[in-house]
Amino acid sequence: MTAPELPGRLHVVGPLGSGAFATVWLAHDPALDADVAVKVLADNWSRRPEVHARFVEEARLLRRVENDRVVRVYDVGELADGRPYLVMTHAAGGSLASHLEKCGSIEVGSALAVLDQVVEGLSVLHSKGIVHRDVNPHNVLLLEPWVAGSSPRAVLADLGLAKDLGLGSGLTQPAGTGDYRAPEQRELSLEVSPATDTYAVSVLARELLTRAGVSPGRRFGSLAAGLSERPDERPSAPELLTRLRTELSVAQPASQVAPLTWLSGIRRRRLVLALVLAVTLIAGATATSSLWPRTYASTAGGLSVRLDGGWSQIESASIPGVGGASGFTLAKDAARVLLARAPAAPGPDGPEARDVAEQTTHDECLVHQPSTVDVGGWRGRLVSWSRCGATSGRVDEVALTVGDTVVYLQVTAPTGEPDLASVLSGLELAPG
């Protein structure tokens, strides 16, 4: 992965992280003696005008907000090769997702502090007519490293999927991540609204409190209306908090949920508990976290993908036309995610990686023109099929040369789920 040459006085220190669409670099400003984060759109995506425009639009949205609970953007520009970049707040503590991945659990007080700040950030966005559309732990950044017993400062990030309601942006992609998606994000015919973010932050509340050892009850029927499946019946996040505060003060939840008696009398914690209970009702979930996002990894090492829970993992996978493959297959209903790797010809465009993606066929599907893809700095080939059979399903296949191996990903989605973007965003590859 080659560091970008930034114009001006910024010096790139090293990579902070990468995903399917962009890479984030740590840079230093010697004049101000300050670190910043520089987000650079991936080369293959920068050539698509609609993606390029959305990336730049993120900078405009962030500049409109200018709030301590939302990541700040200081500059926007283009590299010599045409890739756009944003200069933003550097969050030294990383993402909330990375903290949860490393620690597994979270202190209740810290969880509540983070949730308060997320809701505040959303309130600011909504007041500007902006819907985030992708609230999840990966898009909550911590401004400093997490210290046990502290109240971490958190900011909302990644407005690349945000929708400006005032401009009627006309975005048609469903957006969202896994179980954080509101029902309207799964139906292109339905409009997103601030209530979409209310749904996501409530799912986030449930996940954090479950990890903190809080076991939500299921008997607050009057709270169900707070998070209806219908977006036009769902209130804004602040309205929801007010409504749930009233409900809890009357319902005396501590007498009904024994493990939470120690929370009674603390208003802020009552609010978060109410969010947890409401999500339990609308999702029909239990107190377990089996459906929350998790990392699925190969026993052979070097391959992993983070997806919503509920997938069955089989330690078996093959690569078309390539022997000696190892990997795994994930199955959920008729959907499949296959991830495997095998020895390959060296070089960023090795013939095996190129040929693998183009030699499979799906007779009942419409094939699209193969294209070059960049996944976290690894280049390869993408071939997609759509309109499979009598459904709107699709099959996407990606073949990459990673070190001295070829990595092969196949996503079969009969109902459109999971989409390739969500799988690629959770994909982690170690060099061969």
Q: Give me the active site residues, please.
A: 134
377: alpha, beta or left? (left if phi > 0; alpha if psi -120 to 50): left
> What does the block give as tokens for 96?
């909330």
In degrees rounded to 5, what are phi and psi of residue 215?
A: -105, 100
State how far the Cα of 199 lies from the Cα of 197, in Å rounded to an integer.
5
Range list of H helices, 5-74:
43-46, 49-65
State how far the Cα of 362 lies from the Cα of 60, in Å rounded to an integer.
42
DSSP state of 290: T
The CA–CA distances, whole Å, from 342 to 216, 360, 427 equal 45, 17, 17
> What is the crossing angle of helices 237-251 and 194-211, to 10°?
50
If one counts every other C-beta atom within 10 angstroms of the C-beta of residue 260, the result is 21
Closest CA to 379 of 5, 18, 14, 44: 44
- Our CA angle for 236, 239, 244, nearest 5°, is 120
With tokens 């520009």, the residue in question is 77
Task: Reduce the DSSP state of residue 356 to 3 states and report it.
Answer: helix
CA torsion through residues 418, 419, 422, 426, sign: positive
